[in-house]
Structure formats: structure tokens, C-alpha cells
Amino acid sequence: MNFTIRTATVEDCKDIRRMMSELAEYLNITDQITITQKDLKQDGFSKNPLFHAIIAEVPEQHKTKDGHTKIGFSMYFYIYSWKGQTVFMEDLYVMPEFRGKGIGKALISKVAQLGRDAGCTQLKFTVLNWDKKALDFYLNQDSTDLTSDLGYHYMCCHGDAFQMMADKSSA
Amino acid sequence: MNFTIRTATVEDCKDIRRMMSELAEYLNITDQITITQKDLKQDGFSKNPLFHAIIAEVPEQHKTKDGHTKIGFSMYFYIYSWKGQTVFMEDLYVMPEFRGKGIGKALISKVAQLGRDAGCTQLKFTVLNWDKKALDFYLNQDSTDLTSDLGYHYMCCHGDAFQMMADKSSA
């Protein structure tokens, strides 16, 4: 199937938000999405964007029954590590009916390429351990599981705990 | 013990690099450090810094036998998530002889406060699961272990695998 991978524009925010909801539903973490389409427009497409995104698109004749031609996306940004600048892929999503056609692989390769162009030597991301298909997909591309191999745990402080932690700072 | 927490300047890069080595040695991952003091100067203290850092400092009378007064640091930067802008703490380190005095807590609180000031509602970071002291420290502050609780694995694609992934992108 023909598809194209391209940089997202502000006009894609509606579809990005839709696909984020679809992804969150699949991952059973819908409660973790609080950002709106408006937030995405402001945060990703203003002067100093907080994230970047790419879109996978199919021609009109392959559109979904709901009329969608934007059928996959990846959100990424740059972080820093002991190996210098690093590209972090926050989301990778392809709509179920378009899986198994190399679109996910094309998206992650594009993120890696853009990262390399920006001077990165590595790509980091997270995956849920029960999502065996995703885990196999990544391991098939020789990604390293830092959690299984080295014991890295991904941690978060949010809500009241975050507020209390910030309050404790005297300065 | 008196100590101060302050924003790092370019003059701190030598001590940051020294403490990164000490931390890497403790974590048994010295092979993962490839950045130099010069990289830190360039990446953290030029016009568009790739990271931020804060320093914990003690008065001269409490300096180490090697003459160090900069005895702890945290490196952090901003990422993005489904909850919007998020502060990510890449490193948190206090020299062994200065632990148990609230310096680590003061550093993480400062990072949370700076993150909140920048509009974040959460702090993310990683910890190694065998580092029980660090894990307990974070859990005592009501941090959530996304790996234990939700199954998040932290993944990395680097070296030849990263180059091959980037090469596969056609555009």
C-alpha cells in the first residue's frame, strides 16, 4: 500500500488528538490524557515547540470508513543524556487496519533519521511490557530493553505529590 | 549542615563532569558516559541549552579532603507527554559523605519547583531497581513506579542499530 510520511503541521492537530485517544484506549490509559487539540496547536506549532510530530498518510482511495487518510503518527522531542543529545519518541501509532504494512517501521525510522540529522546517536522510548507485539517490533530492530537488561524503572511524581515536592523548595 | 542550591553556570561544568563520573561509577555504567566537559559547556550553556542543571554547594569549612565545595547536582530538561509539558530529571547526585542531610531532597524539590514555574504538572525520571536506597527515597516522596505499577519499560536504540534504523528512512 502507498503511504507517505511527512512532518506534521498545525492542521494535523485534530487527527493527532484523535489518534492519541485511540492509542490511549488501546493502552488502557485514557485517564492520562489531559491535553486538548488547542494545547497541541500551541505547544507543538509555536515559535519554540515543546514537541515535534510526523504523520503517516494514505491516498484518498484507501481512506477509512470514517474518511480518515491520516492513519498514523509519531510524537518526538529531544532530550539529553550521558551520550549527549538524544531523540525521545513519546508516541508511535498506526491505526489497526493499517498495521503490518511497514508503516510503523517507516515512522520510527523517520524519527531516527531526523534525530541523527539533529546530531543524536540514540533513540529512547518506552513500551508497556504486556504489549508483546510492540515489544517484539522494537526488539526486532535491535533496540535494547534497559528495564529488563539493566533494571531501569521509569518513575513519575504527579498530582498532589508533585505539588508538595515543589512546595518544599525554599528558594 | 549549611548548603545552598543554585542554578549551575558554565564554570560548574568541570565539577558536573566529575560528579557524573562518580555517579556512573556508583551505578556501574561508566561505559555510558561519552560526553566531555567541553560538550557540557556547549550543550548546556549556549543560546538554546539542551539541558539545565542545579548545584548543591557547602561552605569552605565543610569542603571535602580533595577541596570540593560543589558536592551535588541535578541535570534536568523539559519533555512532553499526554499531560503536557513535563520536567525530566536525568541525574540526581550527592557525594557519599554528604548524604542523609536533606541535600538530595532539596535538589529534587528545586527541580520540581522550577518545573512547576515552567508550567509542568509532573516530574519524570528513572532509577535502577537494585539501587534500593534511591528507590526508597523516591517512593517516600510519593513518586509512582510506572514500571512496577503499569509495566513501562525504558528502551534505547543506539550504536549500529540506531544507524541502521535511520538509514532505512527513505526520505
Q: Can you give the pLDDT of all 171 residues of chain B as single tens digits? A: 799 999 999 999 999 999 999 999 998 888 888 899 999 999 999 998 999 999 999 999 999 999 999 999 999 999 999 999 999 999 999 999 999 999 999 999 999 999 999 999 999 999 999 999 999 999 999 999 999 999 999 999 999 999 999 999 865
Say whether B150 and A165 touch across the interface (CB within 8 A): no
Q: Which residues of chain A does B17 touch, with a Cβ-Cβ cutoff of 8 Å?
A: none
* The pLDDT value given to residue B98: 97
Sort out which chain A residues have CB atoms less than 8 A from B35's CB and list them: 82-84
Cβ contact B123–A157 (<8 Å): yes
Question: Residue A45 and residue A60: Cα distance in Å, rounded?
Answer: 26
Instruction: For residue B76, give the nearest of B37, B103, B109, B46 by alpha carbon.
Output: B109
| Among the four given CATH numbers 3.40.50.300, 3.40.630.30, 2.30.60.10, 3.20.20.140, the one describing domain B4-167 | 3.40.630.30
Give B-chain residues touching A77 at CB under 8 angstroms: 79-80
> What is residue B164's predicted lDDT score, i.e. its pLDDT?
96
B-chain residues within 8 Å CB-CB of A5? 169, 171
Contact flag B165-A85 (C-beta cutoff 8 Å): no
Strands B70-81 and A70-81: unpaired
Specify the pLDDT at position A56.
Answer: 98
What is the end-to-end Cα distance of chain A in Å, rounded? 57
Under 8 Å CB pairs connecting chains A and B tally to 251
Distance CA B75, CA B12 (A): 12
Provide the ipTM. 0.94
Which residue type is seen at A124?
K
Q: Residue holding cell 494514505?
A: A58
User: Contact A115/A97 with Cβ under 8 angstroms?
Assistant: no
pLDDT at A1: 78
The residue extents of the domains of chain A are: 4-146
**Residue A83 burial (CB < 10 Å; 0-12/13-18/19+)?**
middle
- How far is Cα B148 from Cα B160, in angstroms, rounded to an integer? 30
* Yes or no, beta carbons of B162 and A78 under 8 Å apart: no
What pLDDT was estimated at residue B27?
Answer: 87
Cα–Cα distance, B170 to B24 (Å, whole number): 37
Give pLDDT tens digits for A104-152: 999 999 999 999 999 999 999 999 999 999 999 999 999 999 999 999 9
Q: How far is A41 from chain B (nearest CA, A)?
A: 12
Is pLDDT at A157 greater than 60 in this prediction?
yes
Q: Is B127 on the interface with A (CB under 8 A)?
A: yes
Contact B14, A42 (CB under 8 A): no
DSSP per-residue codes, A99-143: TTSSHHHHHHHHHHHHHHHTT-SEEEEEEETT-HHHHHHHHTTT-
Q: Is the pLDDT of residue A171 over 70?
A: no
Instruction: Please report, as a single letter, which amino acid is at residue A31.
Output: D
The predicted pLDDT at position B28 comes to 86
Q: Which of A76, A86, A84, A171 shows the shortest CA–CA distance to B112?
A: A171
CATH level 3 topology of A4-146:
Aminopeptidase (3.40.630)
In the sheet with B70-81, reading across from the earlier edge strand, the strands are B4-7, B52-57, B70-81, B84-94, B122-128, A152-158, B144-145
Active site residue B26: no
Smallest CA–CA distance, residue A102 to chain B, in Å, is: 11
pLDDT in tens, A11-68: 999 999 999 999 999 988 888 888 999 999 999 999 989 999 999 999 999 999 999 9
- DSSP helix/strand/coil, A29: coil
Catalytic residue among B93, B138, B152, B154: B138
Residue B137 at interface with chain A, using a CB cutoff of 8 Å: no
pLDDT for res A170: 64
> How far apart, in whole angstroms, are the C-alpha atoms of residue A79 and residue A82?
11
Tell whether A67 is within 8 A of chain B (Cβ).
Answer: no
B89 to A156, B40, B103, B115: CA distances (angstroms) = 10, 16, 15, 10
